[in-house]
Amino acid sequence: MRAVLRRALETLGFDVRDASDGVDALRVLAEAAPPDVVLVDWNMPRMDGLELVGQIRQDARYDTARVVMVTSETELSRVTCALAAGANEYIMKPFGADVLGEKLAILGVV
C-alpha cells in the first residue's frame, strides 16, 4: 500500500517520504521540513495511527499539516475517533488514486 500511495502522490507532484510505522514516522517528520500532508494508516506496529495523529497534533511544527487517515477501519466510531484526534480526512481502503486526489483537493493541497 505504501508503494501505491507513493506512486499516486508522486504523480500529483508531491515529494514523498515514507515510514514503516508510527515511531519511524515521527523520526521521518523530525528530519525534514514540516509536510503539507501526512497519510497515516490506523494499523501499524509500535505506534498505531491514532496515536501518531495525536502526537502530530501536539507538535506546533505541524499545525498547518493536513492529516489523512488511510485505513481499512470502516466503523463510524473509528472515523469519529480519528477526526476527534486531529485527522482532517479519512479514506477507507480499498480506494483508487482518484479518491486520494479528490480528498487532497478538498484539503487544498493539490
Compute the C-alpha angle 2/105/29, nearest 5°.
Answer: 45
State pLDDT tens for residues 32-43.
Answer: 999 999 999 999
Tens digits of residue pLDDT in 15-74: 999 999 999 999 999 999 999 999 999 999 999 999 999 999 999 999 999 999 999 988
Sequence spans of domains, the chain: 2-98
Q: What is the CATH number of domain 2-98?
A: 3.40.50.2300
For position 46, what pLDDT does the model report? 94
Give the closest residue to 88 by CA, choosing from 70, 107, 102.
Answer: 107
Q: In the structure, what pLDDT confidence band is assigned to residue 1 with cuts at 50, 70 and 90?
A: confident
